[in-house]
């Protein structure tokens, strides 16, 4: 026996290695579930791969790999006594952690005393978005926002020069607390010694009043959406598990909670759970299918061991921690890979795009949202029409502010505001605009006038009208209320509106009818091509090619907004000179394209899609892209747009899925006989179709002044009961604020 033990010990030691630089040690979360050191049974960390496994999966990993050495980590949560006033939810809605610097923060005895008003940045003299450093009392402006507003980064530069970690935002200090930011921890934090730290510089918290009027005007929105005025009954169990906020991750939590309820996603990732786990790669944390399955399984699995993941701390449900999932879906993305707040609608589209990439073959759950849109353009000079179809996943519903039912109240409030501003008194809260849902739907369907449309019938620019209709109705319909817009100064703003969104919806009247009897179509002649450097020489010697026709005024307007010249020219070209709105939408939808600022590379000089290119393409690159499920024409277009670089072409093709699929439908879906009047689905992307009658089952709401800040929660209807998911808090909803939502989710009513 004594001789056997050393052999066993040596066998075990041979599987143990020391982490090297670059190794990820997953000591906080299971690779296949959301088990953590706080879960029942704790967490087991493999001493060779450094992956973490809950008690449910460690035996499976041992059987699969033969690994025998694991570090067992358990953690017991202790209740911490906190000041009630300082743990009050902050304005951004996030649950903040106590800063590690708060207890022993160094404060300089430099005699600095901060006055109660009249603040300005010590470098640039800005008088808004000001932060006072809690170590030396210096006042500087905050970060510069994406649109150039906000500040000049002087508070951040001061930290980089001094290392003083904590700063408080002036204008947010009240007897209940303040906004405190830790540069070292890169997050908003709690400072439980804040009264003492402020007093050091002559600030008495108990006498301060919050001065940010714009935020105070939103207080009603925060309270109503979170239903904070009533005592809500907590819920837990399968399908009722909260998700912990990782720091501005409420947009992800809200979107994923809704997707959990859709049968297509459950079928794709839950029904084959064992198969996915057994086929997972050596590092499942980097595998989309495994992590997507982990996300849905942890919210819906019916097995009792999962209930051990639910904790209650002072009445709050901690919930699952989607740390690895967030890292995976945000990997490589300039925004979703950060800890900043994001737009829930943009994340939903990003996630759908990831699903599309990983489901090119087999069942694709994103088909539940996919539908076809028919756009009909009628040349007002020739009265000839053009029909195109494109793929979409979300209906963007405009908000016609001029249709408010309380217009007189709004006008009176605006008059009072102007009087108050002229007198110098602080403004009062403005009333919320009441917009009928029917008015929003009418604004979506009414014809749009195009003043610079290039008509192939008259071979010149003229006026046209464009109408948009549904060419198919999806199983699940997502409606985005376009609350976020730009002011006259191009600064983003949020419309404060209440919309009477219905529980049931019938869109049958918006069904596209196709080409009408006796209606003539515009000739299939493309506008003259855009001149690009790679074809300039050939154009100069080929008299048969026309010069490009671009609306210079539209290009100039886009350039004045700060967009690159080549991007502006492409926007005008790809939207067919249809005006600034269409070009602006193209720019906003393609800003993250890898070739956004690069010159447009056309296939040859004036060749149309599908014609033989003038230069050869690497056949092996074409074969690689075609093997991924794309057509040869699509692969050709991607390679030409990226100078035949395969890696860039793959990124390009996935970021242009809608454009490519729309190309297939509009260019390949029309027969010589003009069969558009029929209801036969055109070739191209696979879509489901059915009745246009829907019922509301979920909605996501946003609180705050911009998608880049604030907080998201979602309400989901489960067993005829509305449930509010506010990160880890899951409760029965008493008054679901359906009129204040941002994203609405409907499912088809089957008659």
Q: What angle is formed at CA 207 by the lines to CA 204 and CA 213, rounded to 5 degrees? A: 115
Annotated ligand binding at 186? The verdict is yes
Determine contact, residues 727/321, Cβ cutoff 8 Å.
no
Distance of CA 126 to the CA centre of its chain: 31
Annotated ligand binding at 124? The verdict is yes
Annotated ligand binding at 144? The verdict is yes
In DSSP notation, 533-571 reads: HHHHHHHHH-TTSPPP---HHHHHHHHHTT--HHHHHHH
CA distances from 282 to 71, 286, 287, 568 (A): 18, 9, 9, 45
Annotated ligand binding at 236? The verdict is no
Annotated ligand binding at 146? The verdict is yes
Q: Among the options 26, 197, 200, 250, which is catalytic?
A: 250
**Could you confirm whether 250 is annotated as catalytic?**
yes
Closest CA to 710 of 335, 336, 253, 250: 250
Annotated ligand binding at 440? The verdict is no
Conformational region of residue 528, where left means phi above 0, alpha means psi within -120 to 50, and beta covers everything else? beta
In DSSP notation, 347-366 reads: HHHHHHHHHHHHTSSS--GG
Spatial distance between the Cα atoms of 609 and 633, rounded to a whole number of angstroms: 7
Annotated ligand binding at 154? The verdict is yes
Annotated ligand binding at 50? The verdict is no
- Tokens for 724, please give them: 């509010």
Determine contact, residues 254/700, Cβ cutoff 8 Å.
yes
Closest CA to 725 of 242, 81, 392, 217: 242
Query: What's the start-to-end Cα distance of the chain, in Å?
Result: 73
Annotated ligand binding at 141? The verdict is yes
Can you state the percent helix, strand and coil of the chain, rounding each to 5? Answer: 30, 20, 50
**Could you confirm whether 568 is annotated as catalytic?**
no
The alpha carbon dihedral of 400, 406, 408, 412 has a sign of: negative
Spatial distance between the Cα atoms of 728 and 314, rounded to a whole number of angstroms: 13
Rg (CA), the chain: 29
Spatial distance between the Cα atoms of 684 and 689, rounded to a whole number of angstroms: 14
Residue 644: what are its φ and ψ, rounded to 5°?
A: 65, 20
Beta strands in 110-184 (DSSP E): 130-133, 139-141, 166-169, 180-182
Determine contact, residues 110/191, Cβ cutoff 8 Å.
no
Annotated ligand binding at 121? The verdict is yes
- Number of helices (H), then strands (E), in the chain: 22, 27
Q: Among the options 158, 197, 711, 715, which is catalytic?
A: 711
What would the 3-class secondary structure string for 492-534 be?
Answer: EEECCEEECCCCEEECHHHECCCCCCCCCECCCCCCCCCCCHH
Catalytic positions are 250, 711
Provide the annotated binding site for Zn(2+). Answer: 121, 124, 141, 154
Provide the annotated binding site for substrate. Answer: 131, 143-146, 181, 183, 186
Provide the annotated binding site. Answer: 121, 124, 131, 141, 143-146, 154, 181, 183, 186
């Amino acid at each position: 026996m004594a001789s056997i033990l050393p052999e066993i010990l040596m066998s075990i030691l041979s599987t143990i290695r020391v982490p090297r630089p670059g190794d990820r040690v997953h000591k906080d979360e299971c690779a296949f579930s959301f088990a953590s050191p706080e879960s029942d049974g704790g967490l087991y960390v493999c001493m060779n791969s450094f992956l973490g496994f809950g008690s449910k999966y460690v035996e499976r990993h041992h059987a699969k790999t033969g690994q025998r050495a694991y570090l067992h980590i358990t953690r017991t949560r202790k209740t911490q006594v906190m000041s009630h006033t300082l743990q009050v939810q902050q304005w951004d809605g996030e649950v903040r952690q106590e800063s590690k610097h708060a207890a022993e923060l160094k404060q300089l005895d430099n005699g600095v005393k901060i006055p109660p008003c009249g603040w300005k940045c010590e470098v640039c003299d800005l008088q808004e978005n000001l932060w006072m450093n809690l170590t030396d009392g210096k006042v500087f402006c905050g970060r510069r926002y994406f649109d150039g507003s906000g500040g000049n980064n002087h508070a951040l530069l001061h930290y980089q020069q001094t290392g003083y970690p904590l700063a408080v935002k002036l204008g947010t200090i009240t007897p209940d607390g303040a906004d405190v930011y830790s540069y070292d921890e890169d997050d908003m934090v709690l400072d439980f010694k804040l009264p003492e730290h402020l007093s050091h510089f002559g600030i008495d918290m108990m006498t301060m009043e919050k001065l940010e009027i714009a935020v105070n005007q939103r207080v009603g929105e925060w309270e109503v959406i979170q239903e904070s005025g009533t005592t809500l009954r907590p819920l837990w169990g399968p399908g009722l598990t909260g998700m912990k906020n990782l720091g501005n991750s409420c947009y992800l939590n809200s979107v994923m909670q809704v997707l959990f309820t859709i049968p297509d996603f459950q079928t794709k990732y839950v029904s084959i759970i064992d198969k996915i786990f057994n086929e997972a790669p050596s590092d499942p944390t980097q595998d989309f299918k495994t992590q997507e399955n982990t996300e849905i399984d942890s919210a819906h699995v019916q097995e009792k061991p999962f209930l051990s993941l639910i904790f209650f701390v002072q009445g709050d449900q901690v919930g699952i921690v989607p740390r690895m999932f967030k890292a995976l879906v945000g990997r490589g993305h300039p925004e979703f890979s950060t800890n900043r707040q994001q737009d829930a609608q943009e994340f939903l589209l990003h996630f759908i795009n990831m699903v599309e990439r990983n489901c090119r073959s087999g069942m694709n759950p994103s088909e539940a949202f996919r539908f076809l849109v028919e756009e009909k353009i009628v040349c007002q000079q020739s009265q000839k029409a053009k029909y195109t179809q494109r793929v979409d996943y979300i209906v963007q519903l405009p908000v016609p502010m001029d249709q408010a039912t309380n217009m007189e109240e709004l006008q009176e409030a605006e008059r009072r505001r102007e009087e108050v501003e002229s007198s110098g008194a602080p403004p009062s809260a403005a009333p919320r605009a009441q917009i009928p849902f029917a008015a929003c739907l009418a604004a979506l369907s009414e014809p749009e006038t195009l003043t610079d449309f290039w008509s192939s019938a008259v071979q010149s620019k003229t006026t046209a009208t464009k109408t948009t209709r549904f060419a198919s109705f999806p199983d699940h319909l997502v409606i985005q209320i376009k609350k976020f817009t730009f002011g006259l100064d191009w600064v983003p703003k949020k419309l404060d509106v209440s919309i009477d969104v219905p529980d049931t919806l019938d869109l049958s009247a918006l069904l596209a009818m196709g080409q009408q009897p006796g209606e003539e179509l515009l000739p299939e002649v493309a506008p003259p091509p855009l001149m690009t450097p790679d074809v300039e020489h050939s154009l100069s010697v080929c008299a048969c090619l026309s010069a490009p026709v671009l609306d210079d005024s539209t290009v100039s307007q886009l350039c004045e907004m700060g967009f690159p010249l080549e991007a502006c020219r492409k926007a005008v070209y790809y939207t067919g000179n249809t005006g600034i709105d269409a070009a602006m939408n193209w720019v906003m939808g393609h800003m993250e394209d890898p070739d956004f600022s690069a010159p447009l590379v056309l296939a040859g000089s004036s060749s149309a899609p599908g014609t033989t290119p003038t230069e050869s393409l690497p056949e092996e690159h074409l074969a690689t892209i075609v093997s991924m499920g794309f057509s040869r024409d699509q692969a050709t277009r991607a390679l030409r747009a990226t100078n035949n670089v395969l890696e860039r072409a793959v990124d390009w093709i996935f970021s242009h899925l809608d454009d490519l699929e729309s190309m297939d439908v509009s260019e390949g879906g029309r027969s010589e006989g003009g069969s558009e009047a029929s209801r036969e689905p055109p070739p191209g992307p696979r879509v489901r179709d059915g009745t246009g009658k829907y019922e509301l089952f979920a909605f996501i709401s946003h609180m705050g002044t911009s998608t880049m800040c604030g907080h998201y929660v979602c309400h989901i209807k489960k067993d005829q009961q509305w449930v509010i998911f506010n990160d880890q808090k899951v409760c029965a909803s008493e008054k679901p604020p359906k009129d204040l939502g941002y994203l609405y989710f409907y499912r088809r009513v089957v008659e």
